[in-house]
């Protein structure tokens, strides 16, 4: 877990505010005993997790697709090609939503906006490092060579609402 006590506190505050402002139907499903705490959220999202990200086209249609996501210092990150449809959407309309849904027992949904950055730049090296930590052991040095030449764009998600659900077995 990368988060400092202050980051955990801020994340917990956002989780609590999100739950307090949820609609009645969502509150009926995501009861307090089914919510994750900030610490639990950080634990279940450690490392790379697949996220399904939704962006919006110029004419208002939703477009979803999977990304490799990371939770680092209370912010969510992912990357894609600089010429990808997803990143072109976010450059013009930064609002997005995503869900991590590995099965019916766990769901994490985030609504917010994306801040885009050059993945090889100095602005947010934490995403590049997380990607290297995850993929170098799996793919070897070829992954780093690919990353350097990929012209990837990173996205840091500024979460405005986070809803978590865990169904205990």
Q: How many domains does the chain have?
A: 1
Q: Is the pLDDT of residue 1 over 90?
A: no
Range of the domain at 31: 5-166
**pLDDT tens digits, one per residue of 120-151:** 999 999 999 999 999 999 999 999 999 998 88
The predicted model gives 55-65 an average pLDDT of 95
CATH code, domain with 83: 2.30.110.10
Percent of the chain with pLDDT over 70: 99
Query: pTM, whole model, 2 decimals?
Result: 0.94
**pLDDT tens digits, one per residue of 61-106:** 999 999 999 999 999 999 999 999 999 999 999 999 999 999 999 9
- Long-range contacts, 89-95 (Cβ 8 Å, 24+): 89/55, 89/56, 89/57, 89/63, 90/55, 90/114, 90/116, 90/155, 91/116, 92/58, 93/55, 93/56, 93/58, 95/56
Computed over every residue of the chain, the mean pLDDT equals: 95
Q: Is the pLDDT of residue 165 over 90?
A: yes
pLDDT at 169: 67
- In total, the chain counts a number of residues equal to 169
Beta bridge partners, 69, equal: 49
pLDDT at 2: 81
């Amino acid at each position: 877990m990368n988060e400092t006590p202050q980051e955990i506190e801020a994340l917990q505050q956002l989780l609590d505010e999100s739950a307090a402002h949820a609609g009645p139907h969502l509150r009926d499903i995501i009861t307090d005993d089914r919510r994750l705490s900030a610490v639990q959220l950080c634990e279940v999202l450690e490392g790379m997790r697949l996220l399904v990200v939704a962006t919006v086209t110029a004419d208002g249609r939703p477009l979803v697709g999977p990304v490799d996501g990371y939770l680092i210092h209370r912010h969510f990150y992912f990357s894609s090609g600089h010429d990808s449809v997803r990143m072109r959407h976010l450059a013009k309309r930064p609002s997005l939503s995503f869900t991590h849904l590995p099965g019916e027992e766990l769901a994490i949904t985030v609504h917010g906006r994306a801040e885009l950055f050059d993945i090889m730049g100095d602005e947010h090296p934490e995403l590049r490092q997380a990607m290297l930590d995850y993929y170098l052991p799996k793919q070897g040095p070829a992954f780093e060579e690919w990353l350097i030449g990929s012209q990837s764009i990173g996205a840091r998600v500024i979460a405005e609402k986070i809803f978590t659900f865990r169904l205990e077995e």
